[in-house]
């Protein structure tokens, strides 16, 4: 496979932290190493900006986690968890992430979306229509096949969980299936 990542490309990274957190937790009982995700996503290219989108829920050590993301090199975008009458809760950044991406599209050559959420399909279609290369880093087991089909390149974190997760040396899906260790996911045109 010929690499389509060039050192002069300007890249922006957008991380849907909740999507990645719950996917890693539900699939492997583990946590995502967001430093490795950023390094992989940028590759040899020039990083313009990297954003993480988080929900403040005032639980445990979230402030320390947010500060750690900032030290890695992410701009941390925070939003309060909304609690509605009756107890239902909502916390997502779909529109905010999309707006940040749309604002940056004229300034970048490639965008890396770290999420498997199919709600971002229209964003990838728009970015591609503007000549921006689209890449997705996510878990195929919890991600949208439609999103993966639209992206120019997909990195399936299930193919090499040890590369992207913190914790155990060998990651096994909670249902007992161990994914192959092949980390090479072909680019999708």
Write out 113-182 in H/E/C secondary structure: EECCCHHHHHHHHHHHHCCCEEEEEECCCCCCHHHHHHCCEEEEHHHCHHHHEECCCCCCCCCCCCCCCC
pLDDT at residue 182, as a whole number: 36
Q: Is residue 3 part of a domain?
A: no
Angle subtended by helix axes 94-104 and 121-129, to nearest 10: 10
pLDDT (tens digit per residue) in 90-106: 567 789 999 999 999 99
Tell me the sheet residues that pair with 31: 166
pLDDT at residue 75, as a whole number: 96
Structural domain harbouring 148: 10-166
Which CATH number characterizes residue 140's domain? Answer: 3.40.50.1010
pTM here?
A: 0.84
The number of domains in the chain is 1
CB 12 within 8 A of CB 123: no
pLDDT (tens digit per residue) in 4-59: 888 999 999 999 999 999 999 999 999 999 999 999 999 999 999 999 999 887 66
Which residue did the predictor score with more confidence, 2 or 184?
A: 2
């Amino acid at each position: 496979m010929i690499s389509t990542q060039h050192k002069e490309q300007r890249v922006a990274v957008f991380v849907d932290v909740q999507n990645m957190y719950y996917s890693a937790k539900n699939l492997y009982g583990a946590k995502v190493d967001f430093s490795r995700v950023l390094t992989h996503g940028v590759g040899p290219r020039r990083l313009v900006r990297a954003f993480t989108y988080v929900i403040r829920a005032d639980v445990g050590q979230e402030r320390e986690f947010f500060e750690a993301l900032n030290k890695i090199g992410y701009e941390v975008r925070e939003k309060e968890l909304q609690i509605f009458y009756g107890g239902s809760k909502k916390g997502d950044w779909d529109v905010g992430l999309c707006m940040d991406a749309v604002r940056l599209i004229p300034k970048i050559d490639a965008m890396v979306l770290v999420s498997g959420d199919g709600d971002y399909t229209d964003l990838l279609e728009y970015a591609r229509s503007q000549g921006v290369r689209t890449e997705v880093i996510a878990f195929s087991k919890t991600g949208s096949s439609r999103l993966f089909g639209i992206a120019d390149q997909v990195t399936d974190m299930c193919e090499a969980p040890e590369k992207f997760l913190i914790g155990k040396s060998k990651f096994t899906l909670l249902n007992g299936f161990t994914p192959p260790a092949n980390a090479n996911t072909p680019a999708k045109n």
